[in-house]
Structures are given as structure tokens and as C-alpha cells.
Structure 1
Amino acid sequence: MGSVLEDTVTGRPLWGADLRMLTSSPMGEDLFGALRADAREQAADAGTARRAPLTRVRATGLLARPWWLPVLEGLDPYSEAVTALRKVTLAPEAVAPFPYDWRIAVSYNAALLARTARAHLERWRERLAARPEWAAAGARQPRLLFVAHSMGGLVVRAALEQDPELAADTRAVVTVGTPFLGSVKSVLALNLLNTGAKQTWLLRRVQAMAATLPGVHDLLPGYRCLDLGLDVERLTPGDVARFGGDRDLAARSLGEHARHRVSGFALPGHRAVVGEAQPTMQTLDEQQGHAGLAIAVGRRYAFDVGEDGELVRDPATGIPARRDASGDGTVHLPSACFGTEAVTYVFGQHGTLMRHDEVLRQIRRIAVERPQGANLGPGGVDAGPGLEVPRLGGTLGEPLILTVTGLESPAGVTLSVRSATTGRHPGRPLTLRRDPDRTDGALSARFTADAPDLYRVTLETGRHAPVTQLVLVTTPDA
């Protein structure tokens, strides 16, 4: 959801421009309805992009302000990453942002990216040939470096699969929090109306939109994630349909996962930067709700698979062994690390990774490195600061429970909340206390907003880079 979208005919902003879309029922219901994918958009693939690209909705730029959605939660803009790269290149125009209509299938956007990247590379080669002083100063023959956050990494992988010549012209691919194996949160987003949570206009509209979008279905987990007690299975299109998704869109997405398991395709020069130590949903189990609705319940544990492809089981009971694989709050580590051993770990939340100081340092370093192939090396696996905020957001007048994990004591720890739109710091400093309802020793604090807004929660320990997350507070239903 990191690209600004607008109506091609009217020029009306549809996404990423006006926060009232998320806080005001009349405006939001209209715009979320406009973002639902129609039949042509649902059927679009790489062939469509090459023959007759879709024209109803246009991506006009990368997200330039903080944004948010229930379950998928906060997303920071990409301006700091673009600026960081432009500071280390020969000229600012060497860095080309690629916004895309994230509602549509990954394969469709990949074909557009392949064409755009090829044109960008050829333009830059022509420019370098016209500047002999750059070559004399040691400028290399241009090749491509892709820096991709979240779903963007899937788009890059598909683009390079579709165009082997483009892959040969690629020096490296840096993925930040990319769900190569999918994310359980996509199922939870499709399941919003089944959960039994308090139904608001925002949840209703988001679920109705998500159920039509190929892009959301392309984020479905392709690994064994459905906990059946004595066994763990991969999702089927029927499972996704019971949870609120579209059977046909799910079949296409899960079919792509099956293809990737045997394709052996590797991203050239792939480096993965991943967030860890954040409370992350990793698997699901199914429960029956009111009127027979299937409820998907996210669980913070994963299952190991041996080299033989079989589940690792407890030798005494035969039950599949569970463990917390950790993650960035949205993507668990095995999914974000898939396909490479060149991994850098940071303490950070998924949606705010692209403004994380360590992530910015890594992408700058990779952009200028010589020679190619330096392994960033794995980081530590020690416990670190984690932040958990209500994934469905909050309602004005009701306290939000903010939780800090991975710390022994609140001493020296600061948890603050301020408006992400105005910078205003509402209320008193928050007091962290041991949460008696948690068995993991977590700390918690309460925050009650005085106005509907998008708020940034910041956790600072003095020993680690700050961890931030966004949470939306809306007005209650009339």
C-alpha cells in the first residue's frame, strides 16, 4: 500500500493523500468502494501489462506521508530512503522511484517494472557515455540495483523472472521485509468481518475491498501455516474462501507459491534486511464463530520443516514442534529471509523499516560497495525491544493498550505518542508497568486519544535504535 493512487479520468486521489479517508466515514466509504478491483483488474497479468495496461487507476508516486490500515497497520513514507540513495549516486536522477497499483497482481506490476527498469538503465548508459569525466573518475558500467520494501520485493522477483536479460543487467537486489513465503496477516485482513471484533465502517470497507484485490491475495502464506493440532497444512483456495477471500484469486496466488518451491530462481546479488524481535503472527488455526463463520486466529509460533520436507515433531508426543520464529510484526523471519544467506537483522516494525537508521545505512552501503558479493552477515539473535499496538486501531474515548516486549525492566525506557500528521504530543508521558495478564513479562501502558488522528508510538531504550509504529483512532459509529 506504499504508492499513491488516483482516478485516471477525474484525477481524484484514491489512496495515500487525504487521511480523512481513514477517519471520516462518508469519505472513506466512497474511496474504499472506488479501490475495489473490477473483473478486468482481477484478471490482469503480465500479458495484460504488455498488450493493454489498465487505465482506471494510476499510481502517481511513492507514499509521501504516514499511512495505516487495520491488521496491516502503519506504513511510513519512502522519502528518506530515496534521499539517502540520491546522496551517494553520481546524480539524483540515477535513482528512479517506481510506484505501482498495489491492488493488482504482482505479475502485472512486474511486467511494468521490467519495462521501466530497462528504459531507466538505457537512459543512464547514454548519459554516462556523454560524460567521459565520470568514466575517468572511476564510474562503473551501469547496472541495476533494486531496493524493494515488502510486496515490492515480490514485484522485483517476478520482473527478473519474466526478463532474464534484465536479471543479467542487475548487480544486486535489496529486499526489506519482503514476504517471499507470504504473510499470515493477509488472511487476517480478509477475515476482518468474521473475527467477532467490534464492527466499524472502516473494518467493513477494508474487508470488502481486500476480498476483491489480487495484490492482497498475492501475499497469502504459501508455507505450512494452518495448525490442525496433530498436523500442519498449507492453505487451500477453499480455506481462503471460508476466511473471507476470493477462491479464484487464492488459487492463482497459491499456484505461484507452488511454482516457486520448485523453480530454483534466485535473485541476483540478493541481500535481505529483516526486522526481528517484534510480536509476529506466523501461523493460523480455525475456529467457528457466530452463524458458522470461519474465524482465522493468528498464532505467534511457527513450525520447522526438516531437510526431508517433513515437519519436525516432538519425539515423545509426535506433535509438531512449535517455536517463535520472530519477525517484524507482519512478516516472520523464514519468509523475509527466503532465498538468500546474506541477511541483516534489525530491531524494527515492518511498516517503518524504510526509515530505520540501520536500514538506510545498509542500502547506502550496498549502493556504493565494491566489489560485488560482500556478505552482510547475520546479526545477533538476542532478545530486543518489541512494540505491539492494537492492530485494528482504536476508537475515540477508549484507551489503547500499548505493549513493550523483550525488556527486563521499564528503567530507562520511554514510550511516547504523538500525532503523525501534526507532531502534537497529546497528554501526559506514558507509564510502563508489568502486564499481569501476560506470561512473557511484557510491559504495557494505556493511551487515550483526545482527537481522531493517526498517531506514532515510539519506543526508546537508549541502547537500541528506536522502534516506532502507527495506530489510527477513529470516531465511533453514529
Structure 2
Amino acid sequence: MPYAGVPPVFDDRTRDACVVVPGIMGSVLQDTATGALLWGADLAMLTNPWTGKGFLGALRADAQEREADADTALRAPLTRIRATGLLSRPWWLPVFQGLDPYGKVVEVLERVTLGPGAVVPFPYDWRLAVSYNGALLARAARAHLVRWREQVAARPEWRAVGERQPRLVFAAHSMGGLVVRAALEQDPELAADTRAVITVGTPFLGSAKAVLALNLVQAEAKPAWLLRHVQGMAATLPGVHDLLPGYRCLDRGLDVDRLTPADVARFGGDADLAARSLGERARHRESPVVLPGHRAIVGEAQATVQTLDEQEPTGRAVAVGCHHAFDVGDVGELVRDPRTGIPARRNTYGDGTVHGPSAQAGTDAVHYVFGQHGTLMRHDEVLRQLRRIALERPQGVHLGGDGAGPGLETPHLGGTLGQPLTLTATGLDSPMGVCLTVRSTTTGRPGHPLTLTAGPDGALSARFTPDAPDLYRVVLDTGTHAPISQLVLITPPDT
């Protein structure tokens, strides 16, 4: 008999379970004993020295937190501070700069899964070691997959979407990609149950900005109290040390060295934490971990600190960021200019925090996008690619084409009320059709377009003088690319 019913038409959805893993600073942190929110709740902790000093002091890692590793997580997880959720409002920190909330990513994935229960966030205490958080993630991801498989099995209409068992898809930003790698390395069975790992701006080789964050005591920018207390906090955190670059990054002129624990201590970090982190970097160089279904989304065309120059103008080591890297040959030797023997320097750009080679290490499945590191997870092109990968679409073209495109530069230490900021648009020949705006993230007041003018070097820049302490969003819209945004914190003058 011919079929006389109406054949069902299913929505375009994946049957897999998704886990969203934020980057450093991307989880709200709470004091377990008092219930006080220590991170990600109130900008006063960054703009008001009377409250900010207490919050930043509370976030310093104690001796037990500094030593915590994967075994600690499995045996007796730490409880002094807990992560309560993903960042839900724009945030900022000197050097690392702005960070957007993760709500858009969760929404996009929920729209392409069978039900809201398929997508869970994994907030974690980013102050602690990657290995510690990786063990917690492995346990949480396994529990989520078990629950989701039970839900799918209980729904006949969902079973009809496909025959295979649901698997895991990880969507990870920045440090979150390192946490996912640690989880899958520690739990090979979980890796076998993973269909895809999507990393967005993950520093697989490290980020030179981590050294700058440890060296803030040398910075002359204002407010001094904020830089001093952020540096004091960062120097105790295993998580910050786990972002240290493992590649050759110390420019010595005629040679280029890798960081040593002594170097890190000289720049303001902790030698023991650095030794553990750099040891992990060396281990991954010798035995790389291949992530299942790894797809990397990489920011490009943004001015990015890639290596470091060490100076001692006052007898204390000062790390100066350099916007170039070094080519390395097939056997690991530096490529040198055949005429002079000087190491060949090359600007590889990046997303403003992670340079290109670090974010794409370990995979050839790369999507490029013009965007700033902390705002990538709200970037239209990034969200589109996350949706495509979740739905198992074929790999598309590189978003950035030949790598030539617009970039945005803002002060990485923020600004002071009453002092004009210089905002720079790079990679553009003319201001025609280009719109640069600044608006408050707290009031939502639309900003007036700024006038871009060409300087002696051809770069386009504009001046902005803030009229109130706040966290501001700078948006560069060329009319032909997805807008690029960055966050800038403006604080009151030092008193």
C-alpha cells in the first residue's frame, strides 16, 4: 500500500550534547563562606580602590590553591571560592583587556540542539591550574553526556533524528581550550565520546601577554592601585602562569630564548608556578595531544604582542611587548637571514592577545576572523561558524581570506577620566565609509561617531575623552566586514 500519511519534516538540529567552556576571567566567582561575589558582578571592584583592593586581595591564591592539580580535583576539590556561572556582563582587566559575556554562544547552540538540556555551561575557578579544572570538566562532561543520552532515549521523536548515540561537542574560548585539552588527555574514554572540539582564540603555545600581566608593577599607567593589586593577584595564580608562552619569545637580538622560571620570577611572577607550567609546555611539545574533531577559530589582523624585549631602565626587569615573532625551521632551529645571521622576524598578528601560530597549533581546520580576543564569542562570524560546526557542516572557506583586513587598537591598560584616549583603526587605506563609535556598556547610551584621521604613518586614529568612569565599548564598522569591538575601562584619577 502506498504511504498515505504526511511524512515528518525535522528541524535542522544536532543530537549531540554541547559544553560551553569560558576563558580566563570568564566565570563569576563567589566567596563560599560569605556569599560575596568576588568577580564579574560589580565594576566597582575595578574602579573604586576602597572596594577593589579587598576583592583583588581575596582572589589571591593561598598555598593549597597554588598546589592544586588533577589529583586534588578528584580527591578533595577546593571550596574556598566557587564559580557560580558564566560571565553575564562585559568585563575588563589590565593587559588582558575586555571580555564579553557568553550568553550569545549558549543561545546559538540551544537553537541547533534537540532541546535546551543539551547545552550546559562549565564555569570554573580560572585562578587555579588548568590540570585541576580539566579534571573537574572531565567529570562534569561525562555526567552531562549520560543525562543527555537518557533524555534522548526517552523521546521517540528525538530518536528518529538519527541512529547513533549522542556525543559531545565542546565550544571553548581562550584558556577554556586548554582546560578541554587537559580533560580529554586525562580521560581517553571521554575523548572517544567527543565529536568535536571548537576552540576560539585558545593559546595552545601560550601568550606573551601573560608575562606583561605579571610585570604590571613596572607600568606607569594610572590608576596605580589597580595595576599594583592586579599584579599582586596574578603573581599567585596558577591559571595565569599556565598561559605563559612556551615558544621562543625572549628577543635577545642575535638569538631568541624560551622563558625560564628565573625569567618569570624576574618579571614579577612565581618561579615554582612557572616551572610547573613551562614543564607542561615542554611535555606538549614532545608529545602533542590531538583533539578529536578539532576546529580552531583564530582572530587575525589585530596588533598582537608576540615576543618580549627585556629592559632594565631602573635596575628592575621590564618586559616590553614586541609585535613580531620568529620563523622556526622543520628541525626546530631559528630561520636566520643568510646575509647577516640575524633571526628572521615576522609579524604574524593575531587577535590582540593570542598570536596566530599559538591559536591554530595542532590543527589544519582553521577559520580566520577579523576580531579582538575578548569579544570573539559575540562576533557574528564566530557564532555562525559555531552553528555550522555543531550541525556538522562541511568546513567552509577561511573567513579572513588572504589575512589583509581591518584591525582595532585600544589602550591595553585602560584610561583615566579626563585624559583623551587614542583609538586606532589599522589595515585601512581611507576613512571613507568607516564608522568608529564609543558607548557605555552600563547605561547603553549610544555614542557619537568619532572622526578618523590619517597620521604620518598612514594609520587612522581618533581621540576620545570620556566624561565619566565606566566600561566603554569601542566598535569599528567598515561596512564590508563584521564589526570589530573592544572594551576599555575608564577609572577615576589617582587620589
TM category (shorter chain) comes to over 0.9
1:345 pairs with 2:374? no
Q: Of the candidates 100, 108, 128, which is equivalent to residue 132 of structure 2?
A: 108
Task: Give 1:25 deviation, angstroms.
Answer: 0.8
Task: Give 1:195 deviation, angstroms.
Answer: 3.4
| Partner in structure 2 of residue 430 of structure 1 | 450
Task: Give 1:198 deviation, angstroms.
Answer: 4.6
Q: Of the candidates 24, 36, 39, which is equivalent to residue 12 of structure 1?
A: 36
Q: Is the 8 A contact 1:280 1:326 kept in 2?
A: yes
1:389 pairs with 2:413? no
Runs of 4+ in 1 over 3 A off after TM superposition: 195-199, 374-379
TM-score normalised to structure 1 length = 0.97
Pairing of 1:177-326 with structure 2 (within 5 A): 177-198=201-222, 200-290=224-314, 292-326=315-349
Separation (CA, whole Å) in 2 of partners of 1:18 and 1:280: 29
Q: Of the candidates 414, 421, 428, which is equivalent to residue 435 of structure 2?
A: 414
Separation (CA, whole Å) in 1 of partners of 2:161 and 2:274: 51
Q: How many pairs align?
A: 470
| Range that drifts further, 378-387 or 61-70 | 378-387
The alignment partner of 2:120 has SS state of coil
The alignment partner of 1:359 has SS state of helix
Residue identity opposite 2:483 in structure 1? P
Separation (CA, whole Å) in 1 of partners of 2:146 and 2:223: 51
Task: Give 1:126 deviation, angstroms.
Answer: 1.2
Residue identity opposite 1:424 in structure 2? R
Separation (CA, whole Å) in 1 of partners of 2:179 and 2:476: 32
Q: Of the candidates 379, 384, 408, which is equivalent to residue 361 of structure 1?
A: 384
Q: Is the 8 A contact 1:71 1:185 kept in 2?
A: yes
Separation (CA, whole Å) in 2 of partners of 1:214 and 1:447: 37
Alpha carbons of 1:258 and 1:382: their partners in 2 closer, same or farther (altered >3 Å)?
Answer: closer
Separation (CA, whole Å) in 1 of partners of 2:406 and 2:163: 41
Deviation track 1:278-332 (CA, whole Å, cap 9, x = no partner) reads: 0000000100032x11000000000010101101111110000011101000000
The alignment partner of 1:285 has SS state of strand
Task: Give 1:141 deviation, angstroms.
Answer: 1.3
Task: Give 1:353 deviation, angstroms.
Answer: 0.3
Q: Is the 8 A contact 2:300 2:403 kept in 1?
A: no
Residue identity opposite 1:401 in structure 2? T
TM-score normalised to structure 2 length = 0.93
Deviation track 1:438-469 (CA, whole Å, cap 9, x = no partner) reads: x3x21111101110000000001101110000
Task: Give 1:381 deviation, angstroms.
Answer: 2.2
Q: Of the candidates 400, 404, 413, which is equivalent to residue 421 of structure 2?
A: 400
Task: Give 1:132 deviation, angstroms.
Answer: 2.1
Task: Give 1:477 deviation, angstroms.
Answer: 1.0
1:143 pairs with 2:167? yes
Residue identity opposite 2:490 in structure 1? V
Alpha carbons of 1:139 and 1:28: their partners in 2 closer, same or farther (altered >3 Å)?
Answer: farther
1:50 pairs with 2:74? yes
Residue identity opposite 2:367 in structure 1? T
The alignment partner of 1:96 has SS state of strand
| Partner in structure 1 of residue 3 of structure 2 | none
The alignment partner of 1:326 has SS state of coil
Q: Is the 8 A contact 2:223 2:494 kept in 1?
A: no
Q: Is the 8 A contact 2:299 2:368 kept in 1?
A: yes
Q: Is the 8 A contact 1:194 1:289 kept in 2?
A: no
The alignment partner of 2:472 has SS state of strand
Separation (CA, whole Å) in 2 of partners of 1:136 and 1:425: 48
Residue identity opposite 1:262 in structure 2? E
Separation (CA, whole Å) in 2 of partners of 1:138 and 1:259: 40
Pairing of 1:118-129 with structure 2 (within 5 A): 118-129=142-153
Deviation track 1:98-129 (CA, whole Å, cap 9, x = no partner) reads: 00000000000000000000000011111111
Q: Is the 8 A contact 1:14 1:34 kept in 2?
A: yes
Q: Is the 8 A contact 1:193 1:199 kept in 2?
A: no
Deviation track 1:14-53 (CA, whole Å, cap 9, x = no partner) reads: 0000111111111101100000000000000000000000
| Range that drifts further, 132-141 or 275-284 | 132-141
Q: Of the candidates 99, 107, 110, which is equivalent to residue 75 of structure 1?
A: 99
Separation (CA, whole Å) in 2 of partners of 1:330 and 1:376: 25
Q: Is the 8 A contact 2:222 2:415 kept in 1?
A: no
Task: Give 1:377 deviation, angstroms.
Answer: 4.7
Q: Which 5+ residue runs of structure 2 have no aligned equivalent? A: 1-24
In angstroms, what is the RMSD of aligned CA positions?
1.1
Residue identity opposite 1:91 in structure 2? G
The alignment partner of 2:213 has SS state of helix
Deviation track 1:150-172 (CA, whole Å, cap 9, x = no partner) reads: 00000000000000000000001
Separation (CA, whole Å) in 2 of partners of 1:430 and 1:320: 41
Separation (CA, whole Å) in 1 of partners of 2:482 and 2:164: 34
Task: Give 1:140 deviation, angstroms.
Answer: 3.8
Q: Is the 8 A contact 1:352 1:468 kept in 2?
A: yes
The alignment partner of 1:340 has SS state of coil
| Partner in structure 1 of residue 197 of structure 2 | 173
| Identity among equivalent pairs (%) | 74
Residue identity opposite 1:359 in structure 2? V
The alignment partner of 1:221 has SS state of coil
Separation (CA, whole Å) in 2 of partners of 1:457 and 1:192: 24
The alignment partner of 1:156 has SS state of helix
| Range that drifts further, 72-81 or 187-196 | 187-196
Residue identity opposite 2:491 in structure 1? T
